[in-house]
Amino acid sequence: MVVLPSTRTKLMPASELIAKTATEIVALLKAGEVTTFDLLDALEVRIAEVEPAVNALPTLCFERARDRAKSLAGKPMTERGVLAGMPVAIKDLLNVAGVRSTQGSPIFADTVPDTSDVAVTTLEAAGGVVYAKSNTPEFGAGANTFNEVFGATLNPWDTSRSCAGSSGGSAVALASGTAWLASGSDLGGSLRNPASFCGIVGFRPTPGRVAHGPGALPFGSMSVEGPMARTVADCALMLDAMTGQSPVDPMSLERPAQSFVSSTASGRKPKRVAFSLDLGGITPVDPEVATIVERAARRFEEIGCVVEEASPDFSDVQQIFQTLRAMAFAASKKDLLVRHRDQLKPEVIWNIEKGLALSTEEVAAAELARGRLYHRVRAFYETYDLVLSPATIAPPYPIEQRYLEECNGHRFSKYIEWCTVAYAFTCAALPAISVPAGFTAGGLPVGLQIAGPPRGEAAVLSAAALFEQVAPWAHTLPVDPRVPRG
């Protein structure tokens, strides 16, 4: 039996708890004003209210969560980690021991792993309590969250619209109030696209900042795990809980001396920032998104920064990204293509086959080009502290579309090409965040992308926090799902 602190006041209604930020919830946990059990109860109420309309959290594990909460309750508060018992949703690409982990694929529809990914165990060691798995497209491919196991996840701002992907379930859970914190992963924008489409915060950190695995490609530097939340401070809190070196991940970095939460409170202003809508002409941009993002970027002048139109040279990013991404798919998924081709969606098959068709010369050329790109971009940051751009180039598109097929008169040649504005920074191995920038005339969210220098998470977070302070739309969540009439 768990004994509640004697100082605890009358429990808040579930709706009041759901409306609070993760930072506020952790403070309540540490003060003994609420327990993890109270939070899990509130989440169950909210999930019952909104989940049928959005399909963000198809797998729930509340019994496991309450067992974890009992274990934490038996420890002194000083030993409960930075999250102190905060419930966390985990993207369905990460294994959670004892919980159905499908990767969004019918091939793994009934898989229940015995062990958790190190990213999960790190969060749990920091006081996180896993209660749900969030929906994702098959193997994270497609930039739109639907699969043959659980179906589509719908955008709560308009349930006829996509929530993007691949961390769409996490973004929708945060926006609709069934999560305070949620994990995501990002290769081609899988954290930042859903954050933009759903009006939340999604942060792609430096490769190695968040240890994950064991995986088939432990030395890969394209795909990373990262935090998703409703506010910048909450995102920093989760990043603090996710960081740390692990022998499971040979790329993982030591935990920095300064917490990321302290970075958001530092008030440190960038002196000179670059702004580009199309990153030097490599992508089209929807006109309404362009207007919203440019207005948001100019808010940095109010903060006291010099804002100049400029961009690193990303002219060869398509060759780099498409080649290296396909190579990774071929290396890690070839056996699935051989044994389960009939169960794979077309986008996954296309990626694997493209990778298998690559020549040694093509792979070598892409690796060399990526090296040159990195050094060009690194030199650019000797002049500018940050780069501002759209997080996505268009508002949320109809859910029936598998991906964004065209934008501003340009028809994309590949299904993933519409994410260029995000994966340009992936290729440069830079930290980048999507923060809410405003809304379209139809009430759909648009995100501003803030990209920092190599290993510059602190600079990104401090700037994002300052921007959030002057952004009037930063505290509009959670939103009740909006189902269009007719």
Catalytic residue among 166, 252, 276, 434: 166
8 Å CB contact between 38 and 140: no
Of 90, 48, 57, 83, residue with least CA distance to 69:
83
Catalytic residue among 101, 176, 185, 190: 190
Catalytic residue among 91, 133, 333, 345: 91
C-alpha to C-alpha distance for 103 and 93, rounded to whole angstroms? 5
8 Å CB contact between 161 and 117: no
Q: 190: exposed, middle or buried (C-beta count within 10 Å: 0-12, 13-18, 19+)?
A: buried
Of 416, 458, 409, 450, residue with least CA distance to 433:
450
Which residue(s) pair with 324 in the sheet?
A: none
Residues 6+ apart with CB under 8 A from 318: 282, 417, 420
Q: Buried b vs exposed e over 335-364: b needs ≥16 C-beta within 10 Å? A: ebbeeeeeebbebbbbbbebbeebeeeeee
For residue 451, give the H/E element and its range: strand 445-451
C-alpha to C-alpha distance for 195 and 476, rounded to whole angstroms? 14
Active site residue 221: no
8 Å CB contact between 133 and 96: yes
Residues 6+ apart with CB under 8 A from 433: 192, 201, 202, 203, 204, 232, 235, 449, 450, 451, 460, 461, 464
Residue type, 260: F
C-alpha to C-alpha distance for 342 and 209, rounded to whole angstroms? 36
Active site residue 166: yes
Q: Where are the beta strands (DSSP E) in 316-444?
A: 386-390, 406-407, 410-411, 432-439
Residue with tokens 């945060």: 174
Active site residue 75: no
Residue 290, Ramachandran bin (φ over 0: left; ψ between -120 and 50: alpha; else beta)? alpha
8 Å CB contact between 9 and 469: no
C-alpha to C-alpha distance for 274 and 308, rounded to whole angstroms? 5
- Enumerate the active-site residues: 91, 166, 190
